[in-house]
Amino acid sequence: MEDCIFCRIINEEVPAKKVYEDSEFLVFADVNPQAPVHNLVIPKKHISNIMEIRDGEMLGRLFEVVQKVAQQEGIASDGFRVVNNCGENGGQTVDHLHFHLLGGRFMEWPPG
Ligand code: 5GP
Ligand code: ZN
| CA of 88, nearest ligand number | 1
Residue 41 lies in a domain: yes
Sign of CA dihedral 65, 50, 78, 15: positive
In a domain, 109, yes or no: no
List all residues whose CB is within 6 A of at least one atom of ligand 1: 5, 14, 16, 28-32, 40, 85, 91-94
Note the pTM of the prediction, 2 decimals. Answer: 0.98
- Can you tell me the distance from the alpha carbon of 73 to that of 18, in angstroms, rounded to the nearest whole number? 12
Q: Are 8 and 51 in contact (CB under 8 A)?
A: no
Task: Indicate which ligand has the atom closest to the C-alpha of 98.
Answer: 1
Give the CATH number for residue 20. Answer: 3.30.428.10
User: What residues make up the domain containing 95?
Assistant: 5-103
| pLDDT tens readout for residues 86-104 | 999 999 999 999 999 999 9
Residue of 12, 30, 42 best suited for mutating to test ligand 1, as the one with most atoms within 8 Å of CB: 30
Each residue's pLDDT tens digit, 43-75: 999 999 999 999 999 999 999 999 999 999 999
Does residue 108 fall inside a structural domain? no
Q: In what order do the strands lie in the sheet with 99-103?
A: 18-21, 25-29, 37-43, 99-103, 80-83
